[in-house]
Structure 1
Amino acid sequence: MSDIPTLTGRHLIAGNWTASDGTFRSDPVTGEGQDYCAGGAAEIDAAATAAAEAFATYGWTSREDRAALLERIAEEIEARGPQLTAIGGAETGLPAARLEGERGRTCGQLRLFAGHLRDGAYLDIRHDPALPDRAPLPRPDLRLMQRPVGPVGVFGASNFPLAFSTAGGDTAAALAAGCPVVYKGHPGHPGTCELVAGAIDAAIRATGMPAGVFSMVQSNTNEAGGALVQHPAIRAVGFTGSFGGGKALFDLAMARPEPIPFFGELGSLNPVFVMPAALAARGAAMGEGWAQSLTMGVGQFCTNPGIVVLPEGPEGDAFLAAAAGLLNETVAQPMLTGGTAAAYAQGVETLSGAGLDRLTAAQACGPREGAPAVFQASAADWLARPDLAREVFGPAAIVIRTAAPAEMLKVAQGLHGQLTATLLMEDADIEAARPLMPVLESKAGRVLANAFPTGVEVADAMVHGGPFPASTNFGATSVGTMAIRRFLRPVCYQNLPAALLPGDLQAI
């Protein structure tokens, strides 16, 4: 295994640790900040140009060679485990157990894609043999398979410094597809980004892949992000982040002379519908379970359940009392970045000024901390206030009280696109839930029963995406093996000599 590098504060561009003029200073939860290079259009251009050159080779590598690369990246990340836990914890405030679990998930999804490559079913190979004697016209030989789109730009997420960051799901899927990656480092955890970039670089060297297959540009400004989305060599983009930032980048992608796919995850309220029979049977337990899900990781999960649709009456009151009991005992915790904490505080202040009943009393003690903030509204009031349907990223939620099943259905119909929608139910609730299903299916990428959505299994059948604004492309997922499809396109080969075909088609 290669030596683990020390932090340079530089960009990694096609295998070289490169400095630039501008710098920014990291803002860790604990310890002193460090200066990092702040890249811009020039660094993005160098990285994207190298990626385009590498694609001429990497896009035609075998599935086995790419699988070996992904597995080696996982090994290199594991070799840096203690360092990643130490610097990731300092930068984000996440506990060691969370970071170690996330590291396992990161390496697991790299290996999952390696297995997916070896299976080969994702290629969707189709062959219509030539029919030279067909009348009135002969049919040519037609062969189809999925091919990589080209260099991919990837933006890291603040809330998952490993699993949705440098070597996260977007990078893993793009590399698996045969697409070089230009990664724009997240300023909230630049040291973690650099360590993982070093792991990827070591794997590229060990497997003999072109150096331009992966580059990382550190930056804390909008210039690098805008340049990445607009660079003509970039053929698709993966993004996880805020609605404002993601929508601005999406607009840039659409405004290019040649628009490109922008696979953005822009936020979700992840509504939870509490059905009557379940409420009667186990209301207090469900209230406690929801409170625990809401506050997990200081509410900084994209699947955080920020809306609860709850029937009025004493059983609903018992649900809330159990939830409030836990929430009011929850100690404020550091949030991932100072900017995240500031945005959360502003969002809570906006909800506090909206005339809603506040059900929690916990308050943050420090400027970077977040405490639970839960509000209550009637279904009529929530439906009349579209501004209440905006995500507040953190442990904030609105409980919508409904007087009848018809109101619950209206709330469902009034939702925007979501990553998830949850039904807490008993068998006796099936008929009451049936009218909700067509609506929830049209609103969310994942519909679940009797579990809270904050766990996202990395598996073949997982969908982590949904209609806008949960995602900018409702037909895609950023988790699970189907994520590879974002970076592939079908190509048909007509009457080509076998020697010119991709290797997977030559044997047909």
Structure 2
Amino acid sequence: MKKTKTGLTGKHLIGGRFRGTGGGKFSGVNPVTGKKLDTAFCEAGDSEVSRALELADKAFEILQTVPVKKISALLGRIADRLEGEGDAIVERAHLETALPLPRLRSELGRTAWQARSFAALARGGSWAQARIDHAIPGRKPLPKPDIRTLFMGVGPVVVFGASNFPLAISVAGTDTVAAFAARCPVVVKGHPAHPGTCELVARVIAEAVAWAGLPPGMFSMLQSSGYGAGLAMVKHPLAAVVAFTGSLRGGRALADAAAARPSPIPVYAEMGSVNPVFILPGAAAAGAEKIAAGFVSSLNTGVGQYCTNPGMVLAVGGPSFDKFLGEVCKNAACVPPAAMLHSGIQKAYDSGTARLSAVPGVKLAGTSAGPCGSGLKTASCKIFTAEAGLIARYPELSEEVFGPATIIYRCKNTEQMLAVARGLAGSLTATVHGTRRELLKHAELLRVLQRKAGRIVFNGFPTGLEPCASLHHGGPYPAATHSFFTSVGAAAIYRYVRPVCFQGFPESALPMELREKNPRRVARLVDGKLSPA
């Protein structure tokens, strides 16, 4: 295959082979300079979509009989090769996203860790939640049959990666490795903002699949700069489930397309979230400076391009409020403007902040000091303030503005704070700053937030999350399409499985996890009692 000096082919990776000759071309862009990067990438068409999903469907049948040690070995190999190719991957990601090198190295480490954690999950097997109820032939008036159930993979998974996490929530991110752990093949729609990074990581996965001796159709990656290929992937009859991280508009379009299929499929989309922060009076009085410093740091993490970015603050008016607002503005002035991930996000940020500025009663209280620099796409931190009563009158104030902007609302009292909370749409997170005594006093606020958010943070900040077994990264609409499921952490595997029940089957025909002698030594529920591995 012909490669550029960067080692990139500009082609799709379908079933272990680089393919793509005709159709349009597009290039990655350096967000700092606005210039196109080397290598033109092929645009996927219907033929590439069909080929990738046909190979994935064939691979799915084979994967159901593959020993679990091969699945685990594959995931471990992906982690090893990501680290082995880390320098090239990180350098390309830096060029395409403008994210700092230290941040990208950290993200690469997280991506490798995720692969290894799902290797361990697959190896352990208890995620399948095997349940056994033995037959009672002599039961009256009717005999009880032997019934056994476990979770099994659903089929080919279509993955749409995120622009803001080009490694951890992209080609080899949680969506992909969780699907592999469930024995599901994956077809990734590469993100047009970092196509070179996508190809480099896709090559790592394809090489790992070949090394593990698994069917090459287990993984494919298609490049595309538009919406057509993605919609074709969702609509294809062999696609079984979709994972998406991105905007509300994009996620909703995919969900609607999937629902309109003759045979609808689920779209697990993680979308828009305002992530409200509630500062109770005791916390504001005792620690306005500390909370303000931590808040501004959280707001500007990754130039505000986190789905958990705190876009709304509510606190009771008074001297503590004024001090907090002043400290926030002082800290924001020290944050230099920076390049965003791509021009589309920059334009959306500019229009979003302009929309906020146009609302009567909303004032710009603070912003980044200093010039915006020579980059074509730079964003300044913007701190708006308003009276909390405006939220009910102007729905746009409750919508996400993706980037380093927030509105700090002055509430008349905690009763108004509670009323605002009741009216908010779903979010990935909600944060409460207060004393332990205030938590008890304002228990009703916490009960409301339990209905509004997937993760509630106490005396901390929502950005940055620990991808562990206990994490839930999801929330009520519009934060996600299905609030029950998480897109990060061990439980992310449950997006790709469904329960299958076996009644009256002989031992030899049952999956290993359901056999009487439990050869895989997994924890099971047997006749209503938890049986340890």
* TM bracket, shorter-chain basis: over 0.9
CA RMSD of aligned residues (A): 1.4
Offset at residue 465 of structure 1 (A): 0.1
SS of the residue 1:24 aligns to: strand
Which stretches in structure 1 are left out of the alignment for 5+ residues? Answer: none
CA deviation vs aligned residue, 1:82-124 (integer Å, no higher than 9, x gap): 0011101010001110000000110111111111122222111
1:96 and 2:101 aligned: yes
Q: Deviation per CA, 1:145-197: give whole Å up to 9, x if none.
A: 10001000000100000000000011111111111000000000001100110
Residue 296 of structure 1, CA deviation? 1.0
Equivalent residue, structure 1, for 2:406: 397
* Equivalences for residues 187-206 of structure 1 within 5 A: 187-206=192-211
Contact 1:5/1:195 (<8 A) preserved: no
Matched, 1:335 2:349: no
Question: Contact 1:68–1:207 (CA<8 Å) still a contact in 2?
Answer: yes
Match of 1:27 in 2: 29
Q: Contact 1:242 / 1:267 at 8 angstroms: preserved in 2?
A: yes
1:436-451 equivalences in 2 (<5 Å): 436-451=445-460
The alignment partner of 1:469 has SS state of coil
How big is the shift at 1:136?
1.9
Q: Equivalent residue of 2:345, what SS?
A: helix
Matched, 1:498 2:507: yes
Partner residue, 2:312: 307
Which AA in structure 2 matches 1:28?
A: N
Tell me which residue corresponds to 2:464.
455
Where in structure 2 are the equivalents of 1:72-111 lying within 5 Å? 72-111=77-116
Rounded Cα–Cα distance in structure 1 between residues aligned with 2:197 and 2:169: 12
TM-score normalised by structure 1 residue count: 0.97
Listed as ranges, the gaps of 5+ residues in structure 2 are: 519-533
Letter in 1 for 2:342: T
The answer (yes or no) to whether the contact 2:268–2:481 under 8 Å persists in 1 is: yes
Using the TM superposition, name which of 431-440 and 309-318 deviates more: 431-440
CA distance in 2, matches of 1:32, 1:75: 31
Give the CA deviation at 1:349. Answer: 1.1
Corresponding residue pairs, total? 505
Give the whole-Å Cα distance in 2 for the aligned partners of 1:482 and 1:281: 38
2:351 is paired with a residue whose SS is helix
* Residue pair 2:27, 2:36 contacting (<8 A) in 1 also: no
Equivalent position to 2:354, from 342, 349, 352: 349
* SS of alignment partner, residue 253 of structure 1: helix
Deviations 1:280-321 (A, max 9, x none): 111111011101110111000010011111111111111111
State TM-score, norm by structure 2: 0.93
Confirm whether residue 144 of structure 1 aligns to residue 149 of structure 2.
Answer: yes
Aligned to 2:474: 465
- State how far apart, in whole Å, the 2-side matches of 1:392 and 1:16 are: 40
Taking the aligned partners of 1:416 and 1:128, their CA distance within structure 2 comes to 42
Residue of structure 2 aligned with 1:68, choices 66, 73, 82? 73
* Separation in structure 1 between the aligned mates of residue 163 and residue 438 of structure 2, nearest angstrom: 38
- Could you tell me whether the CA contact under 8 Å between 1:20 and 1:38 is conserved in 2? no
Alignment correspondent of 1:360: 366
Q: Is the 8 A contact 1:405 1:432 kept in 2?
A: no
Q: Deviations over 1:428-486 (max 9, x none)?
A: 32233311111100000001101101011010000000000000001000011011011
Match of 1:14 in 2: 15
Equivalent residue of 1:166, what SS? Answer: coil
**Contact map agreement 1:114 1:176 (CA 8 A) in 2:** yes
Report if aligned partners of 1:141, 1:494 keep a CA contact under 8 Å in 2. Answer: yes
